[in-house]
Amino acid sequence: MDLDRDHDVYARWLDRMVRVAFVLTASVFALYVFGALRPYVPLETLPSLWGLPLAQYLERSGAPVGWAWLPLIGRADYLSLAAVALFALMTLVCYLRVIPLLPRLQAAFALAQVLVLLAAISGLV
Amino acid sequence: MDPATAPWWIWPIALFALTYLLGIIAVVAGIGGGVLFVPLVGGFFPFHLDFVRGAGLLLALAGTLAAAPLLLRARLANLRLVLPLALAGSIASLFGAVIGLALPTEVVQSALGITVIAVAVLLWRTDPAGHLATESDPLGEILRLKGEYHDPAEQMNIDWRTHRTVGGLAAFAGIGFFGGVFGLGAGFANVPALSVLMGAPLKVAVGSSGLTISIINSSAAWVYINRGAVLPLIAVPSILGIMLGARLGARLLRTMPANAVRHVVIVAMLIAGVRALLRGLGLWI
């Protein structure tokens, strides 16, 4: 039995996800900056907003927080945000995939990490 | 050009160019890139530091995710070593991100400046190689913090193990916290924690540091995403730039003079750190 099979499986899954996410992110960002898809916050307005502290930016732009952006995924800026968020989901997917391959103690650590990631993703923290 | 009157499209192009360059030198200098990105972009671009830190976390995350498969296959990143350390760092980074977004900008900017200047001095003065651990400590033995990798330069398999596990866990919790506050990957601190403190070989320390950043930053990044502190117009060109630059950097790794690049990085960090500190103190807005 290869004791390091978890390394190869983690690497294979991560490699594929990174490639897909890179192409996806570049593609939807092109739709955004070339104006093919309408953003929620107009590009021309952004320079007057991006220098503001977060709280003021949210107040003036009306941008949603938490997962409230999900219904806006048809807008170019939030479609780009969804693509970026894929990068922050990859570790969770890799952990879930390798947990069954890990020795019991390491699997417990990985499971605890999954719970931490889920707490962060859900917006509980 | 006055930043206030410049057209919006100048900035994503400038970010892409800067992060492409950062990607190249970060690989060669053995740093994550976030430690240069946050103070440079926070100091010289028109974006608020809240959004720069959000982009900095995602930039460090994307860069390390892209490199991790290669490092795992070469056994230079060790999942069993990383699992407990990343867990400690992740929990701390969540608190760091929450506190970082709640603190006044001037405080974060000044603290960032001081941290970056201190890291530059540390990089200049310390030898990250450390001393190899010859025996595991009891906790390290239970957690099986050991492994083997093939060193092509030596043409042999190298067995390694780590010690001072409790100290290592505490160090990664501290590093995770600061990473969350400032939006950094903090590879500059991970590598000495793994090599100097825990006694891992430098190559394993560098490889495992990258994998650790990818896990810790996945947690902290969600705090910034959920609070609306990620602007795609800033984050996306930065992510794409660093990923493409890092690929070229990995290819140039053997031919570029690493020591000269390291000196360039230290000077850039000193400039960015002084700028962040002066901006935080209100002396140079």
Q: How many CB atoms lie within 10 A of CB A88?
A: 25
DSSP category for residue B161: E
Give the sign of the dihedral formed by CA B25, CA B6, CA A53, CA A22. Answer: negative
Which residues numbered 115-134 in B keep a CB inside 8 Å of some CB on A?
none
Say if B67 is an interface residue toward chain A (CB within 8 Å).
Answer: no
3-state secondary structure of B154: coil
Two structure tokens written together for B248: 């070229």
Q: Return the pLDDT at A1.
A: 42
Q: Return the pLDDT at B179.
A: 87
Say if B144 is an interface residue toward chain A (CB within 8 Å).
Answer: yes
Q: Distance between CA atoms of B114 and B37, rounded to whole angstroms?
A: 15
Cβ separation of B50 and A44 shorter than 8 Å? Answer: no
Task: Please state the rounded mean pLDDT for residues B109-135.
Answer: 81
Output the CA angle A125-A78-A19, nearest 5 degrees.
Answer: 90
Residue of B nearest to A44 (CA): B8
ipTM score assigned to the predicted complex: 0.94
Q: Distance between CA atoms of A96 and A114, rounded to whole angstroms?
A: 7
> Residue A23: inside a domain, yes or no?
yes
Query: pLDDT-based confidence at A89, cuts 50/70/90?
Result: very high
If you average pLDDT over every residue of chain A, what do you get? Answer: 95
Report how many domains make up chain A. Answer: 1
Q: Distance between CA atoms of B285 and B276, rounded to whole angstroms?
A: 9
> Residue A82: inside a domain, yes or no?
yes
Q: Report the greatest alpha carbon distance in chain B.
A: 62
Query: pLDDT-based confidence at B37, cuts 50/70/90?
Result: very high
> Residue A112: inside a domain, yes or no?
no
Q: Return the pLDDT at B152.
A: 75
- Chain A residues in contact with B12 by the CB 8 A cut-off are 33
> Residue A55: inside a domain, yes or no?
yes
**Domain enclosing residue A27, as ranges:** 5-88
